[in-house]
Amino acid sequence: MKTTREEAKEELHDEVVNNLNELLEKNYDAEKGFKKALEDAENPRLKNFFKQQAVIRNRFKTEIEKELHDLNAHPKLKEGSTTGTLHRVWIDLKTALSGNDDEAVLEECIRGEKASVKEYEEKLKKGHFAPRTKAMLTNQLNEIKNTVSTVKRLEDIADD
């Protein structure tokens, strides 16, 4: 029989694992989204940017997977979420209706990245992460925020 303290510790562990798995899922979605944007973009600079972002999100996934393994937990999802799939379908529809307009792709990237920022901020605010894990997630959040700023600047390129 477990003590109250052991139960609390187990609940905390499960909460951290669930939060990390949810962020992992978000990064699967983001990586797929950037790969989709890479396919849809016409401007070579945008294509290069989207390719770099997909690589960055792959790195984020690897970092989170390592944290999960360090916690003796396993990543739950390898495919992404239904919401992410629907967002990519929406990108397809929107770019088709706008004539594969790079600006439409960028607008959807901003929307997806803002959703990532919100989720990271919520997890960091309520999660009980170890200092090392919290630092890693904070660094990832800052990179995502920089991506939002960069995508906003890239909208000017799409207008060219």
Give me the residue spans of the domains in the chain: 4-159
pLDDT tens digits along 103-132: 888 888 898 999 999 999 999 999 899 999
The CATH classification number of 4-159 equals: 1.20.1260.10
Percentage of the chain beyond pLDDT 90 is 57
pLDDT tens digits along 62-110: 999 999 999 999 898 665 555 544 444 445 444 444 455 788 888 888 9
The predicted pLDDT at position 108 comes to 85
Percentage of the chain beyond pLDDT 70 is 82
Between the CA of residue 54 and those of 22, 48, 160, what are the distances in Å? 18, 10, 24
The predicted pLDDT at position 8 comes to 82
Q: Give me the chain's average pLDDT, please.
A: 85
Between the CA of residue 53 and those of 10, 34, 39, 116, what are the distances in Å? 35, 6, 13, 13
